[in-house]
Amino acid sequence: MKKAHETVNLSAWLDDQLSPADKAAVEQHLKQCRRCQNLLADLQQVRAMTRQQPSYAVSPFFASRVLAGYRSAAAETFWSELDRLWRPFLRWAAVAAIILVALLAWPQDDQALENAVQVTEVELLSGQQELVQSLGDMNQVLQFALSQPSSQFGGFSQ
Amino acid sequence: MQSADDKDIIIASQAGDQQAMSRLISLHASAVHGFILSMINDRAAVEDIAQETFIRAFLAIGKYEFRAPFRSWLFRIALNQCRDHLRKVKVRSIIHPFKRSADDTEIEYADPGQNALQQLIQDERSRALHAALQRLPESLRQVLVLRDLQEYSYEEIAALLHWRMGTVKSRLFRARKELANRLKPYLEENREKGS
């Protein structure tokens, strides 16, 4: 009885990729099967045609283009990686900056606060004294004016 | 597997040595271009995809651990780039259905030692082959390109594509058979010449 066609193994037989038993089975089958012989011839020709393809002509500038592209991509990757690493800390950095500014602006301790109050009190007191002084001066000027004859001040009288 | 020299070049590239990178490019550029052309058959896009493949490879070269051959690792990146490109082309072809086909593009090869007629025949056969390759399902195209154009072993293909050996064998058979059907006129022409 004629054995089933060994078609799937024909390609592997061409490449010598079969076990000795499979190889013998294919060769035995080929002796008696015209259809498989023709198929094998086609596969052989296709393989030869594909393998005859000449090598591809690469542009002489290809390497320099690749390296320029690589340098630019590497730099981009570096900055984007840095950005990616840094971004989660941005929010915390903002919060930390606000806290720092608040701490610097706030009086450091009670003594400093007391000093600030004292300075303010002294300033207020000296302002008050200056005001009293000014009022005294104004009073003297007024008294002097009233003691003078009325004609000297253009008819000024009480 | 790569030689000790290749290993040294890769280690130097991992340390950021751009001369070593340049050496890696000259060692693998032609194979990568050929692989990409076979996968996408779009001459205009081959160089861009190859360039992107190398740039991505160099950006990630620190992660390469010498478990697989360097070229396999590089081809895996190229394969992903080809897939991205084909996806974009598919979307573009839905938006612009009447745009020029990629099959019309010229194919340039490195062998100038042929006369004009031979060159013409070779170009015609290459174009037919690439067009036929392009019409194969992706999994069949991958295995055929890796085996017959890039001369990978079955084991290397299985490792690169995460397939079993049986799958490699059966898909390679289907790919060759399918390609033989599509290239029938060229095969018969060859047979006539041979007889």
Domain contains A29: yes
Residue A82 has pLDDT above 80, yes or no: no
Q: Which CATH class is domain B113-195?
A: mainly alpha
Q: How many structural domains are present in chain A?
A: 2
pLDDT given at position A151: 53
- Residues from chain B contacting residue A45 (CB–CB below 8 Å): 180, 187, 190-191
Chain A contacts of B52, Cβ < 8 Å?
69
B interface mutation test: which of A23, A43, A58 has the most B CBs within 10 A? A58
Whether the Cβ atoms of residue B34 and residue A51 lie closer than 8 Å to each other:
no
- Write the pLDDT tens digit of every residue in B81-112: 998 998 888 777 666 655 544 444 555 555 55
CB A56 within 8 A of CB B47: no
- B144 has a pLDDT exceeding 80: yes
Residue A79 resides in a domain: no
B 172-191 residues with CB below 8 A of A? 172-173, 176-177, 179-180, 183, 186-187, 190-191
pLDDT in tens, B7-62: 899 999 999 999 999 999 999 999 999 889 888 878 889 999 999 999 999 999 99
Distances (CA, A) of A118 to A21, A111, A123, B54, B71: 109, 10, 8, 75, 83
Which has the higher per-residue pLDDT, B51 or A158? B51
The CA distances from residue B62 to A91, B23, B58, in Å, are 33, 17, 8
Show Cβ contacts of residue A105 under 8 Å, excluding neighbours closer than 6 positions.
none
User: In CATH, what number does B1-105 get?
Assistant: 1.10.1740.10
Integer Cα distance of B41 and B135 in angstroms? 10
Cβ(B18)–Cβ(A67) under 8 Å? yes
Chain B contact present for A77, CB below 8 A: yes
A66/B54 CB distance under 8 A: yes
Instruction: Specify the 3-state DSSP secondary structure of B64.
Output: coil
Cα of B94 to nearest chain A Cα, Å: 31
Place of tokens 């499979």: A22
DSSP single-letter state for residue A155: S
In a domain, A134, yes or no: yes
CA–CA gap between residue B148 and residue A116 (Å, rounded): 91
* Predicted confidence (pLDDT) per residue in A99-147, tens digit: 888 877 776 667 777 777 787 778 778 877 888 887 888 888 788 777 7
Q: Which residues from chain A sit within 8 angstroms of residue B55, using beta carbons?
A: 66, 69-70, 73
Domain boundaries, chain B: 1-105, 113-195
Structural domain harbouring A123: 107-148
Q: Does B82 touch chain A (CB under 8 A)?
A: no
Q: Which pLDDT band holds residue A158 (cuts at 50, 70, 90)?
A: very low
- A91 within some domain: no
| Contact partners, residue A13, CB within 8 Å, separation at least 6 | A6, A22, A23, A26, A27, A40
Q: Is residue A72 in some structural domain?
A: no
DSSP B62: G
B55/A69 Cβ within 8 A: yes
Is-contact A18 B94, C-beta < 8 A? Answer: no
Query: What pairs with residue A56 in β-bridges?
Result: B109
